Structure 1
């Protein structure tokens, strides 16, 4: 095929402005940028700022400053998720029209109590790949009248994917092409296991979209052909592949890279205030120094 007629590959770096970027973010940004350059592709920046309570203009400005210091250029305009909330609502409505989502009202505390009572009898409550207990899904048996009454009561709720119905609609489990490695060294063609996540949240009454729904829709709308991200999101790809099939969206290739760990062996985290890129800059390090540290 004439390469001049094919579209260039598209890579993206998609941080949330809810803290300072650390070395793990630098690794992901550099890999996406460098792989796009090698493939004569495009490099995009996406600001994932749906969480209005934690995302701030100051942290967003710091992202731009850090990427500029690293010497990474990206296409303009930058996509901000907060500018496209209607798109995520439309995707949710498509799933709702097919009876694939339901309103879930249990709080975290109520879920914990249900799990405690269950496990007090010596039984193990199923948990997702991150170790969180799967949602009980008791609302799926509510009558339409009871469900409507709860919705009209003003009680907070989340829209959750009915995983059993979703899997029944797609039939054969989805797969994806992995050019990196999963936590157990998985690579090549991977068979997704979205059921391991149970009825995942797609939207909440205080947030128009979950990470799972927004990232899937955004990657499709931006034409992202290669998703390059940390190994901690390897298992989440199962949910994203399922949503791609349900919403009839294109499938990108995936590359999950190693994580940079702290001295205590855990992955770096903004919430734990791990050393940010800006701190290395202020300490006199150069972009080449950072590359040598992490690549």
Structure 2
């Protein structure tokens, strides 16, 4: 029964990561908790699931032409510091607090996804003209032939990347719900490229956070982690192909409802221990 739940959940995680460029990783921790793992084990095991799945999804998205590798690596490199800090901080926080923080974050994710969906529907209904955006090759900082800095964009990238890294290290999630809009707004990537490129970022931050947790003495059930990872990888490949061919609006709406449900479950688990 445990393995069956891990397989089903892994497929959902992979589909969301591949199709939406993030969000699915937020399910890995609650699933591992439901399978009997402690919060520390769940957040550590989640990093493996998220990192490997994002890597597979990034490879598939790269083949589909929706990944800007250099920008993804640069954003991920900036986020490493936050990932390491978050991983170290998680070991010093009581497990009930960790669970409560995770539940609160899930509510924020669901809220952000709902706002995004409403805005998308409003734009479609109003037939609004597209907003002028910088070109894909428009640099943020250049040193030659003269120094130039688009400092507001650079600051936005720095802050967002650091927050993404902190969330990844602290809670064992990928932070794709922040990476995708950041790549869209700060780096002017079209949504198709932002979703694919975010998988590169998530792979880097997950690996950094997992390395920072090594030697902390937290050992998850690798059998469950492997089952989640294998099915999530298969789902991410399918999700990346789905994103290139279909409208993912309905999938995003359904996923938002699922996130709200899981957030309530995690809150029920955390609140009694905090009182």
* TM-score of Structure 1 vs Structure 2, range by shorter chain: under 0.3
Greater radius of gyration (CA): 1
TM-score (norm 1): 0.25
Structure with larger RCO (C-alpha < 8 A, sep 6+): 2
More helix by share: 2
Return the TM-score normalized by structure 2.
Answer: 0.26
Hey, which of these two has a bigger chunk of strand by percent?
Answer: 1
